[in-house]
Amino acid sequence: MFTGLVEQTGTIVSVEERSGARRITVAAPGLASRLREGDSVAVSGVCLTALDIEPEADPPVFHADLAQETVNRTSLAVLQPGSEVNLELPTAAGSPLGGHVVQGHVDGVGSLVSLEQVSDEADPALADWWLKVTVPENVTRFMIEKGSIAIEGISLTIASFEPGLPEGDVVTVAIIPHTYLATNLHTMRPGRPVNIEADVLVKFAAQQKRVPEFDLTEDFLLAQGY
């Protein structure tokens, strides 16, 4: 389990096409030395397995294999050398839950519509931003104002949800200066695919609503042989 509080960004060193899974190599100074073979790590919101860790390399790197399902259903499909990715290690039991529960199981891929400063006059290093992204149809029912959403693995709060715009179904979130500078958001341009994970608690609540209440009746008992 993750919290959506990005620990650092990493840089894609290489993307290797194999006869099996696609392999990425991620430069992660400061984080690679904390990994062990087989550990989970969230890469831009996708839970992957750290392999062939090289903490003594320059820069330190780890590798991860992308199943075809991951390539087909996440923004990791567009990674190339030089791409910046968000990195987070799993939350240890008993640690403070600063963001929200993020599983690293991407629900779908949206698209960056815009990322604009709230005030054009502000210093970009001190500015807050409005981020607008489209969300896929399968997650629109989980988009609740002031609810949580993970975009590229970043725990964010939905400011507004506007379905049916010309661009699609659009979520707007506020970005503080720290988030803009400490994540891969500052590298993105309109049209860039982004990973979307809806709040698991909202998904659970929606699932519970769909489960019909069971009514123990005489007819049911007779049908079961009682």
What number is the average pLDDT over the span 97-114? 94
Per-residue pLDDT band at 5 (split at 50, 70, 90): very high
Summarised one tens digit per residue, pLDDT across range 169-179 is 999 999 999 99
Q: What is the pLDDT of residue 176?
A: 96
Report whether pLDDT(183) > 90.
yes
What is the number of alpha carbons within 13 Å of residue 119 lying toward its C-beta?
Answer: 9
What number is the average pLDDT over the span 76-80? 97
Domain ranges in the chain?
A: 8-88, 108-210
Report whether pLDDT(201) > 90.
no
Per-residue pLDDT band at 211 (split at 50, 70, 90): low
Rounded Cα–Cα distance for residues 226 and 213 (Å):
21
Domain topology for 108-210: Elongation Factor Tu (Ef-tu); domain 3 (2.40.30)
Per-residue pLDDT band at 110 (split at 50, 70, 90): very high
Q: Does residue 190 have a cis peptide bond before it, meaning omega lies within 30 degrees of 0? A: no
CATH class of 8-88: mainly beta
